[in-house]
Amino acid sequence: MARRFAGGAVFSAAMAAGAMATVGVATAEADTETQVVSCMPTAGQSCDPFAGTGPGSVQYSALAVDDQASALRLFGPGGFLIGNGLDALDLDPDCTANCAGGNGGLLWGNGGAGALGGAGGSAGLIGNGGVGGAGVLSVNNGMGGTGGDAGLFGDGGVGGAGLSASTSGDDAAVGAAGGTGGAGGRLFGNGGSGGSGGSATSEAGDATGGSGGTGGLSGLFGNGGAGGAGGAADSTGGELEGGATVRTRTGGGLFDTRREDTYTTTFTVTAGTATGGAGGVGGDASALIGTAGDGGAGGDATTVSGVNAATGGAGGAGGTGTSLIGDGGSGGAGGAGENLGSSTEIRSYTEVFTRRNIFSGFTLQSTTDNPTVTGSVAGAGNGGAGGDGGDAGYAGSGGAGGAGGTGDTDSVAAGVAGTGGAGGDGGNSGSVAGSGGAGGGGGTGSGNLLGVGGSGGTGGAAGSLGVGGAGGTGGTGTADGVGNTSTTIEFPDVIGDVVADLVGVDILPSTVNASGTGGNGVGIGGAGGAGGDGELFGGAGGAGGVGDGTQTGTGGAGATGGAGALAGGSGGDGGAATADGVADVTGSLLLGLATLTIDGVPVGTATGGSGGTGGTGLFGGGGGNGGSGTGSLTGVGGTGGAGAGNATDESGVVFGGQGGDGGAATGGTTLTAANLSSSLFGLSQDLPLPVGHATAGNGGDGGAGDLVGGAGGTGGTRNHANPFDLLSDEALQQVLGALINGDDIDFDFASIADLIDATEAQGGNGGSGGFIGGAGGTGGQGVFELSGLLELAGDQIDLGSLLAGLGDIDLEALGIDITSLNIQTGGDGGTGGEGGFIGGAGGAGAATGGLTPTFPFLPDAVIGISGNGGTGGEGGALGGAGGDGGDAFALGISDGGDGGSGGQGEDIGGSGGNGGTGLGAIASGGDGGSGGDGDVAAGSGGSGGSGIGIIDAQGGDGGDGGTATSSGGSGGSGGGALSVGSGTGGDGGNGGAGAQPGRGGSGGSSTTITGESSGGSGGEGASTDEDATSGSGARGGRGGSGTSVNGDATGGDGGDGGDGAERGGNGGSGGFGGSAAGTGRGGDGGDGGTPGGRGGSRGAGTSDSGSSGESGSSSDSSGSSGSSD
């Protein structure tokens, strides 16, 4: 009882003095000297006054009252019950290694800090663990001390930093690992962060940073500790050291009387490999609720070695989430790897020997030191890989992958790259709920000659209530080198022919390899990371990285989307590419007898990355878009990725994914000043030489689906100014011949339109479908900058003559700079996909024409020639409709695209696509597409497009009807024309053959103000088969009306009726012709078919009616002339 009373008195006195007010404050002393109970545990027993005797409890073998500092203190710093644990060197000032921090009070208190590699002290029931001590060489090879653990409530202590290392000479330096973080409170608390790895510095040897410490575990409720950062590594470089001396001999042969020996030694700085320390792994979360710790960042690395690499440390992996609810930790970022390189010196001297004659020996005459040649050299620089994201618990999202580190080198040696680190993979989600972690982005890779971006990480997988993680974006690859370079100069055949006529000899090959000084850097973007799979929803694929170089830029490929039972992820977009270098080059021809010299020629070729394929699922993922390519010489757009489809019967795609759009391209925009010279032929000729090309990417194909096929993607846009990619050889020969001979160029815009021969990107094809095929994609657009053609022509072209075909339009008076205008051409639409029941529609042709920024009501194109529609897909019952032709809107010439043909159907053919509308000074509508064939009924032809013009307008012709066993398709109607000047309606399409033939389409109408106006003729009605015994021929289409205010007008003729086995088809009526101030004549009626088809009625006119059609011959003479149809 006395013993307990004494302790109780102390406790009461402390309470009275307010000693428990603050943790870490020493217990207040009473007015009288307080007795301190000192408990000395015996071996195997602990000192715990609140427990009984036995193992782990107190055995009171001795009690003493003293005033020594080492006596047990209940409260305050170092207090047994309440108070922070003492720091290690406060606890034991004489400690020299592995000094552990003191524990916190049993009830309340933080652990003390460790020192010299010792562990941090543990906390009490409430409190944080102490920090681990920094590492020292004598303990655990310099590893940092472990952080102290928390009790029930509190955070674990931070692990101690690893010991750094520094060496001289070529000795290796290795940093020590950081200490592990302490565990969080068992109930509530976060794990402590891992300690940082020690840095490493070596003068000429290898340097390796220490790895970061692992993060501490969390409590039941809490987050895991972050992993420690990896240590940096640096190989700084020693003195210049010479390599082997090489002798080079000149002369000294059997009949020589002089000899020169040159001795060359290359001096370089010696340095080792540098490797950053790996980041520590994030601490796991505990069993209930909490997020795992993030992985530590990898350490940076730097070297100046000319041969050895600098490699950043890998990022640490994220910790694992709780087994109940919790997200995985994110992976750490990879460290940077940088190779700065070093200077080199090439020292040499030359010894000269002579002899009097070939029979005597050589004698040294002189020794001369040659000028020292300086340079630089560098090895590779590699970024560290990003750490993988941690997996989640039962419910939770996976951690994101860490980003790859940057890699950089100053090397000027071929093939030595700065390479970005790969992104880490995303962690998997919980099995019940949560999304997969996103993959980390690839690191940037940069160099003089070669830079390669790191690949993106793969997205994490997801459970039933989540989405697969998105793949990481590929890293950028960039190279800005300028130096020795080469390029290929192309000579189209037309240039060779012109030069051959000039000099009388064919001296130009199709290509010339030229070399010189200019852009020589190659940048390659990293590939995107694949999207993560999901039980229901797949993740999106990562985009490809950007590729940027002075000579070559290549965008990274987009990645495939993840699979999901319900919906697949979309494919990643292809990376963009740029290459902007120029060079001064010279090439030889005819075995050196002729020379080609070009200053400032573009050498940059850029190729956009292809889009990734969509992931499989009930709804297939769409393909990624192709990356753009922008090159000073050549630009190539990436192809759009294919939509997900049933590559195998097990894919399970019911609705095919849509194809991605093709990438845009810019190239061939420069006219170079080339000089072709030859002393043999007495030639020195300046050639304005357009160089380079642009090719936009085609749209990706739609995926196949068990029910519906996916639509094709849209073709990319091409921006260029190379006339060789626009005009036919006939036009180019005229331009070049005029340039060389100093003659004028005498064609106008109207004739240019007829000479255009350009091919643009196509829309992707639709995917096949078990029920309905996918639609084809829209074609891509081409934009030719008119400045390129005008620059090529120079003073030899008269702008007035060039504009003559547009009438009296004065562009300069309107404030329009002709050089700011363009010529636009359209690509064709893709083919519709095959369908088990209905075929997919063909894609639309690309439209042309936009609006000028100065006058938003005027088009920016002086010529627009739009793309044709794609063919409809075949169908088990119904063929797909043909795609419509693209509309055209241009200041000068505008030609609408033709409609695509309808697809064949086993029962009913698809209808043809309609022609596109043309709107411009001189405008033409596109022709309608032909109808598809079918067994029961054929498809009708598409209608011709309208022409709306100022000077002249032409309506497009209607498409012909398809052929069928039973009912032939009707011909399409001709397109109308509306013009201030002249106008002509399009002719109607002819009907298709069948037991019941198709009728002809009506001709298009025409309306003008001042010029002539002519309606289009009606299409012919189809006839029955020659061996048919029954059936009537189809009637012809009626002619279109022609009307004008001041000009003469003529109605279109009616189409002839088809012949029939029993009766011929009636002829179509002639169209009305009317004019207010001019003559107006009606169109003639079409002739009736044999036997007995009535002729079409004559068309009325304001001045004169047309003639009636002749009736078809008949054995009973039942036909009559002039009847209405």
Catalytic residue chosen out of the listed positions 87, 261, 391, 1056: 261
Q: Which of 1055, 1086, 1052, 1057 is nearest to 1072 (CA)?
A: 1052
479 Cβ neighbours under 8 A, 6+ residues apart? 446, 447, 448, 449, 450, 451, 521, 522, 523, 548, 549, 550
Residues 308 and 860: their CA atoms lie apart, in Å, by: 56
* String of DSSP letters for 810-858: -TTTTT--GGG-EEEEEPPPPPPPPBSSBPPPPPPPPPB--B-SSSTTS
Q: Are 909 and 902 in contact (CB under 8 A)?
A: yes
CA distance 1084 to 1105: 8
**Beta carbons within 8 Å of 649's beta carbon, 6+ residues apart:** none
CA distance 638 to 878: 34
SS3 of residue 8 by DSSP? helix
User: Which residues, other chains included, contact 659 with Cβ-Cβ below 8 Å and sequence gap of 6+?
Assistant: 622, 623, 640, 641, 642, 643, 699, 700, 701, 702, 703, 710, 711, 712, 713, 764, 765, 767, 777
Query: Cα separation of 473 and 470, whole Å?
Result: 9
Classify residue 731 by its DSSP letter: H
User: Where in 536-642 does DSSP place strands (E)?
Assistant: 547-549, 552-554, 577-579, 582-589, 594-602, 605-607, 629-631, 634-636
What's the Cα-to-Cα distance from 722 to each of 216, 672, 823, 925, 961, rounded to whole Å? 64, 11, 12, 27, 40
Joined tokens for residue 36: 């301190």
Joined together, the tokens standing for residue 1080 give 């107006």
User: Using CA of residue 845, residue 851, residue 852, residue 858, what is the dihedral sign?
Assistant: positive
Residue 98 DSSP label:
S
CA distance 441 to 976: 56
Decide if 261 is catalytic.
Answer: yes
Q: How far is CA 1110 from CA 555, 584, 764, 997, in A?
A: 68, 75, 49, 20
The helices-and-strands tally (H runs, E runs) of the chain is 7, 54
Residue partners of 926: CB distance under 8 A and separation at least 6? 845, 866, 868, 885, 886, 895, 896, 897, 898, 899, 915, 916, 918, 944, 945, 956, 975
10 Å CB burial of residue 853 (0-12, 13-18, 19+) is exposed
Find where tokens 């209930």 sit.
288
Which helix (H) or strand (E) is 311 found in, with range? strand 310-311
**Does 93 sit behind a cis peptide bond, omega within 30 degrees of 0 on the bond before it?**
no
CA distance 780 to 698: 8
Structure tokens at 148: 């102290």
The residues assigned a catalytic role are: 261
